[in-house]
Amino acid sequence: MFNRSAKMADAVAQVVGVQAHDVTEPITEPVDTLYLASGVMLGKISKEMASFIKTLSPDKVGRVVCFGSCAIIKSPVPQMRALLEAQGIKVDDRSFTCRGSMGPLHAGHPNKQDMEDLKHFIESTL
């Protein structure tokens, strides 16, 4: 099982000073900012991500900052944003997307430089 979003989320957690969690774990207490990462399979974000977003509400989450990776489409973020906004949640205009590999296509991504770029992006949202 690939989990490039988990690798990216761990890097973000280090910058923010929190622990990263999988979307299969529901949020148990309100958060000011939720950093949310996704990849894309067969053109879509995962069912787990969509289900998780449907558990969120503005009283639980102040703002979401989206980031992720994909190989073909431009970004997973518009799909995440649409579902989040349908829940009435504020989504930061800023987001981060880098290439993620699909077999030989973009092999090695997210790479070291992608992770550095991600960390700089996250610093700009703190």
Ligand X SMILES: Cc1cc2nc3c(=O)[nH]c(=O)nc-3n(C[C@H](O)[C@H](O)[C@H](O)COP(=O)(O)O)c2cc1C
Contact residues for ligand X (CB under 6 A)? 2-5, 39-43, 69-73, 100-102
DSSP 7: H
Q: Which is nearer to ligand X, 18 or 73 (CB)?
A: 73
Report in angstroms how near the CB of residue 44 gets to ligand X at its nearest: 7
Report in angstroms how near the CB of residue 102 gets to ligand X at its nearest: 4
- Of 107, 66, 58, 114, the closest CA to residue 87 belongs to 58
Q: Which is nearer to ligand X, 72 or 86 (CB)?
A: 72
Token pair 């399979």 is at which residue? Answer: 41
Report in angstroms how near the CB of residue 104 gets to ligand X at its nearest: 11
Q: Which is nearer to ligand X, 100 or 122 (CB)?
A: 100
